Amino acid sequence: MKPLQTYPRFVSIEGGEGAGKSTVINALRSVLEAQGERVVSTREPGGTPLAEMIRDLLLDPAHEPATPETETLLMFAARAQHVRETIVPSLESGAWVLCDRFTDSSYAYQGAGRGVDAAFIATLERDCVGIVPALTFLLDIDVAAGRARMHSRGGAPDRIERERDEFFQRVRAGFLHRAEADPRRFRVIDAAQPMDVVAAAALSALEAYRA
Ligand code: T5A
């Protein structure tokens, strides 16, 4: 089986709803840029015009409910485009890529959350994606606390945010299981801490990774 390729400057940020991924990405980006590095921050699903259109299909609650398989295939359709058009060209040009979610989200949401077979996800990962981050931050937070943050932020919930707490409990367990299985790649951060503490933990892990 062909191994997944990795690039040392490919970093993903994962977590459940309201974990604070955007906050951490902004902190990592500022520090890297201040050190003269080029940084591309991007997100999934999305990150190219076509992939952003797929994102709308996935998250807009106005569409008919997607089956777990449809949802999985759309996530990977967006990811395949994103990898070829944005992520790999940026990495090959020497930039850091900070990706808000990547394939671990599919294992957690579609695999652990929806019950899609992990072997099917692994096949899509190998054949349609081909790359894996070198470093992944998992921002871990209790489901109720994360959802409370999302509610206090306001705005209408998207199709996935409308799921019940039990779904997000399975997602959280799915992420933690992946982190446990691959401690070299994952850095798990307690995202219930104040924002500056979470950002400082991510920055110190990044510095240790680069040393
Ligand atoms: N999805 C995605 C899948 O199902 N499968 C996949 O393969 C992929 C790639 C994507 C949705 O798609 C699903 C997962 C998602 O449901 P998204 O835009 O990534 O959508 O959705 P969210 O994870 O919900 O992203 P958000 O941007 O909404 O959340 P963040 O980035 O984690 O949180 P952030 O930084 O915006 O913070 C949320 C709020 O909390 C506050 C912030 O100020 C903000 O108001 N906050 C804190 N408050 C107190 N203490 C802290 N430490 C805080 N950190 C943040």
- Return phi, psi of residue 173, to 5°: -65, -35
Averaged over 26-49, what is the pLDDT? 98
Return the residue whose CA atom lies nearest to atom 46 of ligand 1.
Answer: 20
Q: What is the DSSP string of 125-181?
A: IIIII-EEEEEEEEEE--HHHHHHHHHHH-S---TTTTS-HHHHHHHHHHHHHHHHH
pLDDT in tens, 144-158: 999 999 888 878 888
Q: What is the pLDDT of residue 161?
A: 86
Average pLDDT over residues 131-142: 98
* Sheet strands side by side (includes 39-43): 39-43, 96-100, 5-15, 131-140, 186-190
Ligand 1 centroid to Cα of residue 57, in Å, is 18
Query: Ligand 1: does its nearest atom lie under 6 Å from the Cβ of 160?
Result: yes
As a whole number, mean pLDDT of residues 169-181 equals: 98
- Cβ–ligand 1 distance for 70 under 6 Å, the answer no
Whether 111 contacts 173, CB under 8 Å: no
Residue 111 in contact with ligand 1 by CB distance below 6 A:
no
- The response to whether residue 2 sits with its C-beta less than 6 Å from ligand 1 reads no
Is the pLDDT reported for residue 1 higher than 80?
no
- Classify each residue of 25-37 as buried b or exposed e, where b means 16 or more C-beta atoms within 10 Å of its C-beta: bebbbebbeeeee
Least reliable range by pLDDT among 61-65, 91-95, 180-184, 207-211 = 61-65
Q: From the CA of 2, how far away is ligand 1's center (Å)?
A: 32
- Give the rounded percent of residues in the chain with a pLDDT score beyond 90: 90
Ligand 1 touching residue 42 (CB < 6 A) = no
Residue owning tokens 């077979």? 117
What number is the average pLDDT over the span 46-56?
A: 98
Instruction: Provide the pLDDT confidence category of residue 68 given band limits of 50, 70 and 90.
Output: very high
Mutate to test the pocket of ligand 1, among 79, 106, 138, 149 (most ligand atoms within 8 A of CB): 149
- The lowest-confidence range among 100-109, 128-137, 147-156 is 147-156
Residue to substitute in 105, 147, 159, 175 for testing ligand 1 pocket (most ligand atoms within 8 angstroms of CB) = 105
